[in-house]
Structure 1
Amino acid sequence: MNDAVGHAVPQTDLTEMTACPQCDWLHVIGDVPDGMRARCVRCQTVLLAPRRDAAVTIVALAAAALVLMIVAISFPFLNIAASGLSSSASVLDAAMSFALASGRMAPLSVIVAALIIVLPVARLAGLIYALGPLAVGNKARPYAAFVFRLSMRLRPWAMAEIFIIGVAVALVKVASLATVGFGPAFWAFVGLVILVAAKDMVLCERSMWRALEQAR
């Protein structure tokens, strides 16, 4: 992929400037062709990386991830067998078990459900709402900019991938005590993490902001 270096301009209209997220150096970035990247002149951080049909790809990946999330919360996540007894549990069962075990654990169940289910779903749905019309060449929906901004701010708090890592670590300890089998929801979560990672690689926030401005 070719690179285009952003130009640092000492004096210009602030509304036309882009600050580097790493070093805060101000740039004025013109039109960057698809497949190229505008980099900071000071630290070489990528400032803009437009891709052809990026909105189509992002919406498609977000929709597929949303379907996998529905599968992940609807089917058994793990099957555990020990001493002739077996049990299976879904992600919702795991979250609810904290609330049912003790009233003091109810806040923990809410946090777990929010971080691994509610916030990821809200972020995916927000991206589909905000970028869906752009993917088919229509004007942006009302409040699309607000929804897109909210979706981007939810990014650090949507922790489905952290949940999978935590499960993997826990299984190392449980494997010596019981036989553990992976349910459909586990593989759905793995697929979800892969799709979200692919979506984040394609998504250039500044490019999407420009596209939203042009689609008003």
Structure 2
Amino acid sequence: MPKAAAPGDMIACPECDALLRAVPLGPTERARCPRCGSLLVSPRVRSFLQVVALAFTALILMMAAVFFPFLGIAAHGLSHESSVIEVALAFSDGWLAPLSVAVLAVIVGLPMLRFCAIIYVLWPLANGRPAWPKARAAFRLAEGLTPWSMAEIFIVGTAVALVKIGGLATISIGPAFWAFCGLVIVTTLKNAFMSRWSIWAALERS
């Protein structure tokens, strides 16, 4: 009779919830779900260091995106430039103050917290050292914040708004807009390089 697998040796497909036995993979091997074909595990050589570098890059781009001018609008001889932080603080008076806090949280605060948590978890592992204290809790926090980090959605909403007001005023795009676009690209690359199963396995070994 085959021996039952330990819970730590199992992996669940994020698409179809199939529960599968995890097996060690080589640096160039990938594991896919036999039911739906979704990619489950994709180890990469030096992936931890690459993810840390991309997370640092994302933090720098986020700070630039917050404080540099985002958009400029000119109409009828009047013009105005504003940054993301200025737009959020415009709602900081009266009963709209919670809206200001929510905007800053989902666009700036939560993504930066997630990047910091990922750096905290992977920095010692990328350098061949034991994980720092509370690394598992930090990575669990980073994973839990993923659906609430809406910097990418903010860019999509801004693009839609630009199309709608483009005929009413002259719009100039500031450096913060391009910083946000770069942030979306860097975040996508980070997600492509990051193998969650490999990180959990490294934390278990550590």
Indicate the TM-score class for this superposition, using the shorter chain for normalisation.
over 0.9
Match of 2:184 among 185, 193, 206: 193
Residue 67 of structure 2 is aligned to residue 109 of structure 1: no
Q: Distance in 1 between matches of 2:181 and 2:87?
A: 17
1:5-55 Cα distance to aligned partner (Å, 9 max, x none): xxxx88333332222223333222221111211122222222211111110
Residue of structure 1 in register with 2:39 after alignment:
46
Match of 1:5 in 2: none
Farther-moved stretch of structure 1 (179-188 vs 19-28): 19-28
1:168 matched to which residue of 2?
A: 159
C-alpha change, 1:172 and 1:24, in structure 2 (3 Å) is closer
Query: What's the CA shift string for 1:71-104, capped at 9, x where partnerless?
Result: 111111111111111111000111111223xx22
CA distance in 2: counterparts of 1:21 and 1:69, whole angstroms = 29
One-letter amino acid of the structure 1 residue matched with residue 20 of structure 2: H
1:132 is displaced (CA, Å) by 0.8
Greater CA drift, 77-86 or 40-49: 40-49
Change (3 A) 1:138 1:12: closer
TM-score w.r.t. the length of structure 1 is 0.90
Q: Give the one of 54, 60, 71 matched to 2:64.
A: 71
Stretches of structure 2 that go unaligned for 5 or more consecutive residues are none
Q: CA deviation at 1:109?
A: 1.1
After TM superposition, give the deviation of residue 134 of structure 1 in Å. Answer: 1.2
Match of 1:3 in 2: none
Residues 1:127 and 2:118 are matched in the alignment: yes
Moved over 3 A (4+): none
Q: 1:1-216 residue pairs with structure 2 within 5 A?
A: 11-100=4-93, 103-214=94-205, 216=206
Q: Which runs of 5+ in 1 are unaligned?
A: 1-8
Distance 1:26 1:35 in 2: 23
* 1:184 shift after superposition: 1.1
**How many angstroms apart in 2 are the aligned matches of 1:134 and 1:35?**
20
SS of the equivalent of 2:91 reads helix
| CA offset digits 1:86-142 (Å, max 9, x no partner) | 111000111111223xx2211111111110000000000110111011111111111
Q: In 1, Cα distance between the equivalents of 2:8 and 2:57?
A: 36
Greater mean alpha carbon deviation, residues 11-20 or residues 77-86: 11-20
CA separation in 1, counterparts of 2:5 and 2:179? 49
Percent identical:
49
2:3 & 2:38 partners in 1: Cα distance?
19
| TM-score normalised by structure 2 residue count | 0.94
Distance 1:188 1:10 in 2: 53
Q: Deviations over 1:139-184 (max 9, x none)?
A: 1111111101100110111000100011111111221111111111
Could you say if the C-alpha distance between residues 10 and 96 of structure 1 is closer, same or farther in structure 2, counting changes exceeding 3 Å? Answer: farther
Please say which of residues 197-206 and 113-122 is displaced more in the overlay.
197-206
